[in-house]
Amino acid sequence: MSSVPENLRYTEEHEWLANTSGVTKVGITDFAQDALGDIVYVQLPSLGAKISAGAVCGEVESTKSVSEIYAPVSGSVSAINERLAVEPELINAEPYEGGWLFEVEIEGNPEGLLSPEEYRKAIGA
Amino acid sequence: MPIEYPAANGGGVLAEHDAVRTRVGIFDVSHLGKAHVKGAGAVEFLNTAFTNDLNRIGAGQAQYTLCCTPEGGVVDDLIVYIRSQDDVLLIPNASNTSEVVRRLKQAAPAHILITDEHESYGVIAVQGPQSAALLTKLGLPTDMAYMSWVESDFQGSPVIVCRTGYTGEHGYELLPAWSETGKVWDACAALLPEFDGRVCGLGARDTLRTEMGYPLHGHELSLDISPVQARANWAVGWEKPAFWGRDALMAEKTRGAAWLLRALKAQDRGIPRPGMIVKNDAGAVLGEVTSGTFSPSIKTGIALALLSREVAVGDLVVVDVRGRDARMEVVNPPFVPSHVK
């Protein structure tokens, strides 16, 4: 059973974010990492990059497939998880902790985010 | 056969790959094709059809060979197991078996019978440094030379035990009767915990064979990619007076193939995948990736690529990884040492 922590918000593209205003960490969900399998490469947006909600801003490559990372909100990237360059498997091991992808300074009001309950429904959990 | 077994049970491509390289893994490859060629002079007939020279082996031995078209394209690559000069077992690729059988039937003299035996045998690959120890616990023989096989039995059921595989490790392929395959699989699987072994899927099968530079039909060999281009000359008996595709292949060998299969090792984090374009520094296209993956053993991207003949080992090339330029070096395969012998 995939873990869906209560303190996070989610997208239909299987990303999570910690906050809905200010600065938030972003990652992919436990459900997503399990479906992708062993993650071997991550391409993240660059520091300071402007990202817009719903647009592709990076990619995650596993032994099985390549998946795009969609920006869950609009804003500017204020930090990236440097550890993933050498330890992409952190996303598998700790999707909500050491395996976070990047931090974004949110601009405007995020839309279309899912509550834990809604996300559980979306993945049939 | 799944791509991989669940991570919750210790599976996943990386874990399965590692088990085979360092301990033992088992693969259910019963989907592979099987065919019998029987009748007086069966070996002699096959030697006029397939590329490799069957006179190099005898009863109880196996050989990698190719079934080519008259134009030199590859219908399939397969393993030939000689029981006697009049009795041969073939293991072609699943999706090519019917075409290999069709071509053989068309060419064979009437007294040689060629039959598709798909549901006569299962195939279980037991691969890795601990494979012999595992088979010994099952009471199966293990001391055959590489590419040799014996007929044995497991709990009263016949099992063919071959010292063959597709991983680059010391390993075996077991061929029980189709109906008994579940029993043999369960017995192998039950012993895995003792060796910290794994049941393995198609994902690990592909990363293991790519690290060895072994071709996969449809990628490195095909109707459009000849053995000369794939540098599988070693699997062609050039001295033989006849085999399918001989004239075309001799001509290509003499004039030099326009394209040659090369191995690429990533110098950065890029992971090459089939179909990606390979270029030189100036951006000129040199060819394309036929197989590419993340190598679990050397933790970097690796590829096999069909490249213009002037590209040489040691050259640096660029692979277009979804719009990003990834730098790779042309190297000699295998990417990790072979332990088959």
Whether B231 and B283 map to the same domain: the answer is yes
Cβ contact, residue pair B269, A41, below 8 Å: yes
Query: Which of A34, A41, A64 comes nearest B203 by C-beta?
Result: A64
Comparing A9-13, A63-67, B228-232, B307-311, the range with the smallest average pLDDT is A63-67
Whether B311 and B240 map to the same domain: the answer is yes
Query: Which of A34, A41, A92 comes nearest B294 by C-beta?
Result: A41
Return the pLDDT at B280. 96
Helix, coil or strand: residue B217: strand
Note whether residue B226 is domain-resident.
Answer: yes
Return the pLDDT at B149. 98
pLDDT band of A1, cuts 50, 70, 90: confident
Using the 3D structure, point to which of B97, B120, B143 is the last residue of a domain.
Answer: B120
Instruction: Count how many domains chain B has.
Output: 3
* Topology, domain A9-123: OB fold (Dihydrolipoamide Acetyltransferase, E2P) (2.40.50)
How close, in Å, is residue B208 to chain A by CA atoms?
12
Q: Is the dihedral of CA B211, B80, B224, B201 positive or negative?
A: negative
Return the pLDDT at B9. 87
Say what the pTM is. 0.93
Instruction: Name the residue with tokens 């090792």.
Output: B265
CB contact at 8 A, A63 and B211: no
Chain B residue numbers with beta carbons less than 8 Å from the beta carbon of A34 are 7
Whether B17 and B131 map to the same domain: the answer is yes
Query: Which of A43, A63, A66 comes nearest B14 by C-beta?
Result: A63
How close, in Å, is residue A77 to chain B by CA atoms?
21
Could you report the per-residue pLDDT of B294-307, keeping only the tens digit for each?
999 999 999 999 99
pLDDT band of A65, cuts 50, 70, 90: confident
Interacting residues of B337 by C-beta distance below 8 A, sequence separation 6+? none
Whether B264 and B327 map to the same domain: the answer is yes
Please enumerate, as own/partner, the contacts of B104-108 that have beta carbons within 8 Å and a separation of 24 or more. Answer: B104/B35, B104/B37, B104/B46, B104/B49, B107/B45, B107/B49, B108/B37, B108/B39, B108/B45
Domain-wise residue ranges, chain A:
9-123
Return the pLDDT at B220. 98
Residues of A with a Cβ under 8 Å from any B Cβ are: 34, 37-38, 40-41, 43, 59, 61, 63-64, 66, 85, 89, 92
Using the 3D structure, point to which of B95, B120, B145 is the last residue of a domain.
Answer: B120
Chain B residue numbers with beta carbons less than 8 Å from the beta carbon of A66 are 273, 322
Nearest CA in chain A to B16: A38
Q: Looking at residue B133, which CATH number applies to its domain?
A: 3.30.1360.120
Cβ contact, residue pair B203, A61, below 8 Å: no
Note whether residue B341 is domain-resident.
Answer: no
Q: Which domain holds residue B111?
A: 35-120
Note whether residue B279 is domain-resident.
Answer: yes
How close, in Å, is residue A115 to chain B by CA atoms?
26
Chain A residue numbers with beta carbons less than 8 Å from the beta carbon of B3 are 37, 64
Whether B223 and B325 map to the same domain: the answer is yes
DSSP, residue by residue, B271-324: ---TT-EEE-TT--EEEEEEEEEEETTTTEEEEEEEEETT--TT-EEEEEETTE
Cβ contact, residue pair A61, B207, below 8 Å: no
Cis geometry, peptide bond prior to residue B334 (ω within 30 degrees of 0): yes
Mean pLDDT computed over every residue of chain A: 95
Is the complex ipTM higher than 0.95?
A: no
Mean pLDDT, residues B235-241 taken together: 98
Chain A residue numbers with beta carbons less than 8 Å from the beta carbon of B13 are 37-38, 63-64
Using the 3D structure, point to which of B72, B102, B120 is the last residue of a domain.
Answer: B120
CB contact at 8 A, B302 and B20: no
pLDDT surpassing 80 at residue A118: yes
